[in-house]
């Protein structure tokens, strides 16, 4: 395998050149890693630098590359959108398969269910919390919509903060229905719980709700092997407050002062 960087539209893109004898499943790992990182280019039909002799060993016929194209485009979950596929003619030799892979807003997996990201000039497999961290960094999963299993719906229903808020917006809905309608409940393992936004706004002791496990410090290695921390809940407070105020302005009201003060206090802490 040969890795390098290619300037394109003022940006630096990673690229990999691989021999045509690589297994489609192994090539898919590199394909997924590019999509999960900042994108890149794959050239299939060029041998590793260690190869003795002419490194250019292209496909004799265009159809010979079809199995690779099928695996990469049809068996990657979810499908990577915006991939540019072309067959470059190597004069006197045959065809080199070139795939230009964009940076994807989604998290992608191979046909076997594995997730990969770029690390320096290679790839690494990630799982568990590191996949979750990748989803957060891409915006594929909204952190404020994540279920919080350390607090119950009944605790939220009994919260005076929720009561004061519903009085302010003049809602007569049953409290659980109100939370559900406002998308403040989330399901995890078939159990419905308050989500992060709900707990931040209405929990009487939000600082006690977030256990070390919930305030994850998981990291995921990016294309340059730099760790990108998953922001803890406090870092999301200004954004959540702004989003709620935007919604409430449509009803000619704002967040109750008590809630705004609590959010500000938690952010400073």
Q: Could you tell me if 158 and 76 lie in one domain?
A: no
Q: Could you tell me if 133 and 263 lie in one domain?
A: yes
Are residues 213 and 127 in contact, defined by beta-carbon separation less than 8 angstroms? no
Range of the domain at 113: 2-126
Which pLDDT score is estimated for 257? Answer: 53
Which pLDDT score is estimated for 71? Answer: 95
Which pLDDT score is estimated for 18? Answer: 92
Which pLDDT score is estimated for 78? Answer: 94
Give the C-alpha separation, 169 to 162, whole Å. 11
The encoded tokens of residue 174 equal 């049953």
Domain closes at, from 91, 126, 161: 126
Are residues 46 and 20 in contact, defined by beta-carbon separation less than 8 angstroms? no
pLDDT 10s per residue in the chain (269 long)? 444 444 444 445 688 889 999 999 999 999 999 999 999 999 999 888 777 878 888 899 999 999 999 999 999 999 999 999 999 988 777 999 999 999 999 999 999 999 999 988 889 999 988 888 888 788 766 677 788 888 889 999 999 999 999 998 888 899 999 999 888 898 877 889 898 888 888 888 776 665 544 433 333 333 333 333 334 445 555 555 555 555 555 444 445 554 555 545 444 44
Question: How many separate domains does the chain show?
Answer: 2
Q: Could you tell me if 96 and 206 lie in one domain?
A: no
Q: Could you tell me if 19 and 66 lie in one domain?
A: yes
Give the C-alpha separation, 115 to 142, whole Å. 19
For 238, phi and psi rounded to 5 degrees? -60, -40
Domain closes at, from 58, 91, 126: 126
Give the C-alpha separation, 72 to 63, whole Å. 15
The encoded tokens of residue 28 equal 């898919």
Q: How many CA atoms lie within 13 A of 226 on its CB side?
A: 2
Closest C-alpha among 123, 142, 237 to residue 183:
142
DSSP for residue 147: B
Domain closes at, from 126, 157, 182: 126
Q: Could you tell me if 136 and 214 lie in one domain?
A: yes
Q: Could you tell me if 120 and 134 lie in one domain?
A: no
Global pTM value: 0.58
Which pLDDT score is estimated for 210? Answer: 56
Give the C-alpha separation, 222 to 230, whole Å. 13
What CATH number does the domain containing 110 carry?
A: 3.30.950.30
Which pLDDT score is estimated for 213? Answer: 41
Give 186's strand partners: 193
Q: Could you tell me if 135 and 252 lie in one domain?
A: yes
Give 118's strand partners: 123
Q: Could you tell me if 264 and 241 lie in one domain?
A: yes
For 72, phi and psi rounded to 5 degrees? -70, -40
Q: Could you tell me if 71 and 179 lie in one domain?
A: no
Are residues 131 and 115 in contact, defined by beta-carbon separation less than 8 angstroms? yes
For tokens 């919604």, the residue is 247
Are residues 220 and 133 in contact, defined by beta-carbon separation less than 8 angstroms? yes
Q: Could you tell me if 18 and 34 lie in one domain?
A: yes
Which pLDDT score is estimated for 241? Answer: 56
């Amino acid at each position: 395998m040969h890795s390098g960087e290619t300037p394109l539209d003022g940006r630096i893109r990673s690229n990999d050149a691989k021999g045509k004898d690589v297994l489609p499943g192994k090539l898919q790992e590199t394909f997924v890693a590019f999509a999960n990182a900042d994108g890149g280019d794959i050239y299939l039909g060029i041998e590793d630098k260690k190869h003795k002799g002419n490194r250019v060993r292209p496909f004799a016929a265009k159809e010979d590359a079809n199995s690779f194209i099928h695996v990469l485009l049809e068996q990657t979950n979810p499908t990577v959108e915006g991939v540019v596929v072309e067959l470059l003619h190597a004069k006197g030799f045959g065809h080199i398969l070139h795939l230009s892979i964009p940076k994807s807003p989604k998290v992608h997996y191979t046909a076997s269910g594995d997730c990969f990201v770029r690390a320096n000039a290679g790839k690494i497999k990630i799982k568990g919390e590191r996949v979750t961290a990748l989803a957060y960094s891409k915006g594929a999963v909204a952190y404020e919509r994540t279920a919080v299993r350390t607090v119950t719906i009944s605790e939220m229903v009994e919260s005076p903060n929720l009561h004061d808020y519903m009085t302010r917006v003049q809602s007569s809905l049953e409290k659980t229905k109100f939370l559900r309608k406002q998308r403040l409940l989330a399901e995890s393992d078939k159990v419905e719980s308050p989500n992060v936004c709900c707990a931040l706004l209405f929990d009487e002791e939000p600082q006690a709700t977030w256990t070390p496990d919930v305030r994850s410090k998981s990291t995921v290695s990016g294309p340059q092997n730099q760790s990108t921390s998953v922001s803890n809940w406090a870092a999301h407070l200004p954004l959540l407050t702004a989003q709620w105020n935007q919604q409430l302005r449509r009803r000619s009201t704002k967040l109750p002062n008590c809630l705004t003060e609590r959010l500000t206090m938690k952010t400073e802490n």
